[in-house]
Amino acid sequence: MKESFRCGLAKLRRKKIPNLLLGICIMITAILSLNALIFLKELNGIFDRAYEEMEGPQMCCLWNREIVSSDSVKQYMKNSKNDLEYQITENTKTVEYIEKDGIRLSNGILLELPEHISREMISPKISDKSEPEMPKKGEIWITTKMANILNAKVGDNISLQLADQSENVKVVKIVADPVFGGSNTNVYRMWCGYDRLSEFALAENHMMCYLEIRFQEFTQQSIQNFIRNAEEYFQMPLGDTLYTYDQIKSGYTSVYQMIGAVLCFVSIILSVTIIILTVFLIKSDMDEDVRTIGIYKAIGMTGIQITSVYIICYGLIGLVCSALGSVLGGKLSQKIIESILGDLGIYMVSLKGILGYQFFVWLAVSATIVFICFCAVSKIQRLNASYAIRRGNWKTKEISRKKQKNTYYNGKGSFELYYAIKGIWNKKLRYIYIIGVSMIFSCLTVLCFGCLNAVENIDKEPEAWGFIRSDIYVTSLEDTPVSNIIKELEEDSKVDYTYGVNKVYPKYKPDDAECWQSVVAEVYELPWNEKIKDKSLYGRRPQKENEIGVGMTFAEEYGLNIGEKIELFINGEKKKYEITGIFQSLSNYGKIIRMVTDNLDQFVNADGTYGDYMLLLTEPSEKWNYAKELTKKYNEEFAFIASKSNGENITGILVPAVGSILTILLIIIMIIMVNLTFLLIRKEQNLIGLLKAVGMTSWQILKIYLWRNCVSAFVGTCLGSVIGTLIVPSLLTPYAKILGLTEFPFMLNLAGLLGSLILLPVCILLATCAVVRTIRAISVKQLVNE
């Protein structure tokens, strides 16, 4: 054992570059494996801790000051027996849209900051360390989410469209919005200075107020008690005016989990690929050491002792590099998570409890390396020492040779190309491996580019993300129902189709509950237009007034299935409905119901309102100007509100995240390709020496290996691009459905296709040039002797 230990250390010192490459592969394997484990197991816990350290609200309630006075809300909160902190924002104005450099965001709300601002405010949260200063005239604070979508920085000017007047304001601080900073909320809050809201133009529906609550002892029961008591006190359903902690959390984690799933998938694929490369590195090193192994056997060492030399050498490399990879993997995971959550305004991220994962990855990767080495015992045991010392290779079984065809070079065409193709044919396994690795990496690259393109263009295909298109929202401002003008609007050449939809708030009483609780429902007017590409629904969509569709989260929470009936209290009566479909999308939390009616105006008349409608345009890009035209045409009897399909809020979060994934992937691809190229050319040092001995120049030798490696990489890249474009997206669709997506988000673009086709061959070309230049410095005699 002592001899094996000495030989192992000597080998470790002698082959520094191959050992360094092996160590890099082991380290990357550990990093990727740890990332996969963390993103698979720890996402919810990480977010809970991060949000808790942020000290944001655990519930937010919106209400109209004309319906419930602010004084009554304040009085109720003062008399509340619950142990909680709260913050009330009374003065707000709606913003028709926010614009910067041609990018427009709807659903903007301008709020007035409290008289005394501090870092302890429940919202907004100040992320940097600077002391807060009250915004002056013409200045506002915006959220990190808005800044990401608009590409806005401190000091930039943005335009606010309030009513019919546009105002330019300056961004003086970027803050975090704990409630509406997530991906599922398309409300964009901004803040002006205290008592400065009146300086901005009058806007419609400017009576919206906010109540934000943080419980001293937070439990789900405390939220339910508050909701039940508030509904009983104010004698009205709170419905979707409430944002509970689960909804706030879902707004962050739905996309966060999607990113984690993609990172986990990419990490596993890369880990497997690198482990295969590690096997090739170890096998290649043993092939080069055949003569040395023969000498070990000749002096009396057993197969186990010789194997121990490699176990000691590679075991030490594995132990050190996997430990380093486990540590770096934790740091990398934290940086990735900080980057993703930082785009949402959450910066305090602590990865507590991952020490066990790091220890597991360290042991698992080290054990894998030892196992790979141990697999060579039987081969070393059978080695003929004399043959190995004389020939310098493993003895193979004698195979009767077939009559060889004439394969001599005939002088036509390029000798380098001829010799390269012959080399590929003679060493098929080696170049099949290059093709395989190139295919995997090209497939992942084209997938990431396609996902990035899909994320950037969510509003072009909103249905793929589970969003129902909603170009222009129409509601009545006077006593004339919108239904009176729908036929006229449908005849307009700019309108593709229309549909009626309203939000209502029925009450539902679960079997084990003591009281009824309000839920959110969307009621659509029949016929539910077949042009609506609602891909988030499975089962049969509601077609009669006694049928409903139920959100997936709602169905899972109460154990509801298709075909069952539930009882709802709506419009003053109890009625049973049959569940005909279950749906989920990224635009809601899955805790919502879809209903239908023959007469929308009559259905919502119980609340004293008329039905609202959506206009879908043939050219959605014209919706902003068209909404203004319609407002003037109908003398402001109706509100025509241009809006996006809820995709813009997700775009601002997913784009930097997918970009980070793509960057990590490209870095790893380049590292692995350099290692792979070094390995394959190093195995042919003797041949390179012989080619130089017969008079070939370094440039001619370089062209041979460029042909071999780049052609193989290009073939694999083409295969990977085809597979990544046509096959893999459909295979990943079942997993996308877990996140509420009906199909895997993928949109091929020319840049992604060219990137995947060119990147790997270029990496191989550069690596080949670098390796051959290194070998060029070695003499012909030394190469042949080695």
What secondary structure, in 3-state letters, does 629-652 show? HHHHHCCCCEEEEECCCCCHHHHH
- Please state, rounded to an integer, the average pLDDT across all residues of the chain: 78
Residues whose CB is less than 8 angstroms from the CB of residue 403 and which lie 6 or more positions away in sequence, other chains included: none
Comparing CA positions, the residue from 406, 452, 380, 361 lying closest to residue 657 is 452
Residue 697 lies in a domain: yes
Quick check: helix, strand or coil at residue 751? helix
Please, are residues 522 and 235 in contact by the beta-carbon 8 Å criterion?
Answer: no
Number of structural domains in the chain? 4
Pair (453, 551) in one structural domain? no
Q: Which of 644, 675, 705 is the last residue of a domain?
A: 644
Q: Which residues of the chain have pLDDT under 50?
A: 205, 398-403
Bond before 527 cis per omega within 30 degrees = yes
Query: What's residue 419's pLDDT?
Result: 66
| Whether residue 624 sits in one domain with residue 513 | yes
What's the number of CA atoms in the CB half-sphere (13 Å) around residue 440?
22
Single-letter code of the amino acid located at 102 = G
The answer as to whether 247 is a domain residue is: no
- Do residue 528 and residue 594 come from a single domain? yes
Asked whether the beta carbons of 467 and 657 are under 8 A apart, the reply is no
What pLDDT score was predicted for residue 156? 92
Closest by CA position to 620, among listed 221, 106, 237, 183: 106
Residues 490 and 636 in one domain: yes
For the chain, the C-alpha Rg in angstroms (whole number) is 33
Query: 65 is in which domain, residue-wise?
Result: 59-217
Determine which helix (DSSP H) or strand (DSSP E) holds 238, and give its type and residue range: none
Same domain, 622 and 703: no
Nearest to 149 by CA among 123, 125, 119, 185: 185
Last residue of a domain, which of 617, 644, 671? 644
This prediction's pTM: 0.66
Domain-located, residue 244:
no
Closest CA to 416 of 711, 781, 673, 770: 711
* pLDDT confidence of residue 141: 93
What are φ and ψ of residue 424, in 5° steps? -65, -40
| Domain-located, residue 231 | no
Condensed to tens digits (0 to 9), the pLDDT of residues 9-19 reads 777 677 777 77
Output the CA–CA distances (angstroms, integers) from residue 146 to 130, 153, 349, in the order listed: 20, 10, 21
**Same-domain pairing of 163 and 273:** no
* pLDDT at residue 548, as a whole number: 92
Are residue 23 and residue 166 in the same domain, yes or no? Answer: no
Q: Are residues 53 and 68 in the same domain?
A: no
The angle subtended at Cα 39 by Cα 36 and Cα 43, nearest 5°, is 165
Q: Which residue has the tokens 């295979």?
A: 731
97 shares a domain with 76: yes
User: How far apart, in whole angstroms, are the C-alpha atoms of residue 606 and residue 370?
Assistant: 74
Question: What per-residue confidence (pLDDT) applies to 510?
Answer: 81
**3-class secondary structure, 211:** strand
Residue 619 lies inside a defined structural domain of this protein: yes
- Residue 264: partners with Cβ closer than 8 Å, 6 or more residues away: 35, 36, 39, 40
661 and 677 assigned to the same domain:
yes
| 470/416 Cα distance (integer angstroms) | 61
**Domain identity same for 765 and 782:** yes
230-273 per-position pLDDT tens digit: 888 887 767 657 777 777 776 666 666 666 777 777 777 777 77
- Amino acid, single-letter form, for residue 408: Y
Q: Is residue 458 part of a domain?
A: yes
- Write down the pLDDT at residue 344: 63
- SS3 state at 786: coil
d(CA 164, CA 173): 26
Whether 408 is covered by a domain: the verdict is: no
Give the integer Cα–Cα distance in Å for 626 and 641.
Answer: 10
> By the 8 A CB rule, do 527 and 627 touch?
no
Question: In 42-143, which ranges are continuous DSSP H helix?
Answer: 43-54, 70-79
Q: Do 359 and 420 share a structural domain?
A: no
Q: Would you say residue 222 lies in a domain?
A: no
Calpha distance 330→672 (Å, rounded): 21
CA nearest to 27, candidates 321, 274, 280, 316: 321
- pLDDT tens digits along 29-63: 888 888 778 877 777 777 777 777 778 888 888 88
Residue 670: what are its φ and ψ, rounded to 5°?
A: -65, -40
SS3 at position 109: strand
Token couple for 16: 């520094």
Per the CB < 8 A criterion, the answer to whether 784 and 690 are in contact is yes
